[in-house]
Amino acid sequence: MTVDDFRSSIDAASSDVERRPGATTERSALAAVVVPLRQVPPTYPDQRPSPGRLRQIDRAFFGPFFREKYGTGGDKALENGRIRYYGPVQPANNAGELAGRRYVHEFDTMTGCTRGWHETLDRMGNVRQVRPERPNGMMGHYQFDSNGRYKGSW
């Protein structure tokens, strides 16, 4: 499902509500004060949302807040209920196989917690280095090879 499909389904759901018998007078009386909410099908408490569902929730609720700030380079919904927002790649022109870095902001929809780190990418788009932001201010660079295997840190 694309964003446009999702928006269309939301619009259709809103139209259905408005077509209910008796809804016309209600609507006219409250039209000035009722702000129609975006409607998203419910998720049961014991059910972890699928990435597709998470993406729907993100588009409707969190996205406008996080995407504008951190997700100009894209975003990805994960299996574990988290959404990652990618910043633009800041190019490094004299760094050999490394193409640049980007900031990644991760939002956990289950807990509301966020965390962030800087990734260094190679020219093939592989993440070769991660530099997490730690609460104590200490930072390390964690390196990976082109196959994603951890090499070491400093």
Chain residues binding another protein by CB under 8 A are 69, 87, 90-96, 98, 100-101, 103, 114, 118, 120, 129, 131, 133, 141, 154
- The minimum distance between CB 98 and another protein, in angstroms, equals 6
- The minimum distance between CB 95 and another protein, in angstroms, equals 5
Nearer to another protein, 110 or 139 (CB): 139
Nearer to another protein, 42 or 135 (CB): 135
Nearer to another protein, 7 or 69 (CB): 69
What is the residue-wise DSSP string for 26-73?
A: HHHHHTTT--PPPP-----TTSPPPHHHHHHHIIIIIHHHHHHHH-TT
- The minimum distance between CB 76 and another protein, in angstroms, equals 19
Q: How far is the C-alpha of 6 from the C-alpha of 87, rounded, in Å?
A: 24
Q: What type of residue sits at position 1?
A: M
Are 109 and 49 within 8 A, CB to CB? yes
Are 86 and 77 within 8 A, CB to CB? no
CA distances for 77 relative to 37, 148, 152, angstroms:
23, 20, 28
- The minimum distance between CB 36 and another protein, in angstroms, equals 25
Nearer to another protein, 39 or 114 (CB): 114
